[in-house]
Amino acid sequence: MAGTLTPTARHEPAADSRTPGRTALYAAGVLARRLLLLAGLLAAVFAAVELLPGDAADATSERGESAADLAQRRQLLGLDRPVAERFWDWMTGLPTGDLGTSARGEQVADLLARPFPNTLLLGGLALLLTLVASIALGCWAAARPGGPLDRAVSASATGILALPEFVVAVALVLVFALWTGWLPAVTLTDSDGSPASWRMLVLPVLALAVPQIGWNTRIVRAALADEARAPHIDTAVLDGLPRHRILVHHLLPGALPTIAAGVATSTGMLLGGAVVVETIFNYPGVGSVLAGAVTDRDSPVIAGVVAVTGAVITAVLLLADLVRTWASGGRT
């Protein structure tokens, strides 16, 4: 889970960049750093798959298979080549979209080509809902600081942020699919492999977003509380500006970088939770591919999914960095 409000302070000095040249330089530095981190993670993932006992050939072996068959498949999968060579192949293949070969000999990139856009749609909608709902709830609570509403919102946000997605999903299915029958409990697919109707997206998106809304509402609320201590807010209050105007025009812009960082860290939780939620709702995404990989003990597929997911999270974190640069650059 994310706990990442600390980096804010670290980025503050660099944000003092009023000239476009320095801003561009700073953005390039951030980009380079993020890409380096991603490369490091991918190296760690490859090492983990490599160093832990058991390999893809073992995992897919069937009972009664001879040692010769096993050796042959190992050769077929390229597992008999030196580690350094395979590592180099895997890492250099990644930027070209080659994610390696699954234990069954298929291209991991081909396995993910159809389901991944579906997962991105699910995660993207959940992220959007999280953003809108947590800002609305956070502002609603912040408008009456310390009041019963504020405390109720904060307490329920704390309560739901720790719930595993599958618990939320079970509750949603019981209420909205089985008892009231308003929404479908399973996802049917069109011939092109995408969900057949938007109604089938509602419950998965909700199940994914609910814990993240709890998490981000607290971040929004805390960021607004921090921002409310700034002197220019006192001035605005003394000037007699209406409460909602202060909230929207004076508090929110200052709190935006923190909110962006918080929502960005939710991306990882959303993509991780999607695996669980897709299993429950039979949604045609990466989760179903992973569920198959769990049965087959197919770690190359997991490594490929981690690579793609890491790239998506890197992109979202970069976006949050840019929001921070833009928001603080505009004020100084």
Assign residue 230 a region (left: φ > 0; alpha: ψ between -120 and 50; beta: otherwise): beta
Neighbours of 86 (CB within 10 A): 17
From the CB of 44, what's the least distance to another protein, in Å? 7
**H or E element: which one contains 266?**
helix 252-281
Asked if 174 touches another protein (CB under 8 A), the answer is: yes
- Running DSSP on this structure, what letter comes out for residue 175? I
The DSSP code for 13 is G
Listing DSSP states for 310-323 in one string gives HHHHHHHHHHHHHH
Note whether 84 binds another protein by CB under 8 A. Answer: no
Residues 6 or more apart whose CB falls under 8 angstroms from that of 270 comprise 123, 126, 127, 130, 208, 209, 212
How many amino acids of this chain bind another protein (CB under 8 A)? 68
- Shortest Cβ 120–another protein spacing (Å): 14
Contact status: 263 vs another protein (CB under 8 A): no
Q: Are 208 and 126 in contact (CB under 8 A)?
A: yes
- The binding track of 14-33 with respect to another protein, each residue x by CB under 8 A or -, is --------------------
Cα gap 291→293, rounded to integer Å: 5
Q: How far apart are CB 291 and another protein at their closest, in Å? A: 8
Who contacts 290 (Cβ-Cβ below 8 Å, separation ≥6)? 275, 301, 302, 305
Beta carbon nearer to another protein, 133 or 157:
157
Q: Six-digit token pair at 328?
A: 């603080």
Cβ proximity to another protein: between 15 and 302 the closer is: 302
Residue 49 within binding range of another protein, rule CB under 8 A? yes
* Whole-number CA gyration radius for the chain: 23
Among 65-73, 249-257, 298-306, 319-327, which window interacts with another protein (CB under 8 A)?
A: 298-306
Residues 105-164 that bind another protein (CB under 8 A): 154, 158-164
Is residue 218 part of the contact set for another protein (CB under 8 A)? Answer: yes
Residues 6+ apart with CB under 8 A from 154: 141, 217, 218, 221
Q: Which of 310, 325, 327, 328 binds another protein (CB under 8 A)?
A: 310
Specify the residue, 105 or 164, whose C-beta has the smaller distance to another protein.
Answer: 164
User: Nearest distance from residue 313's CB to another protein, in Å?
Assistant: 5
User: Which residues would be at the binding site for another protein (CB under 8 A)?
Assistant: 1-6, 37-38, 40-41, 44-45, 48-49, 52-54, 58-59, 154, 158-167, 170-171, 173-174, 178, 215, 218-219, 221-222, 225-226, 265, 268-269, 271-273, 275-276, 279-280, 290-291, 293-294, 297-299, 302-303, 305-306, 309-310, 313-314, 317
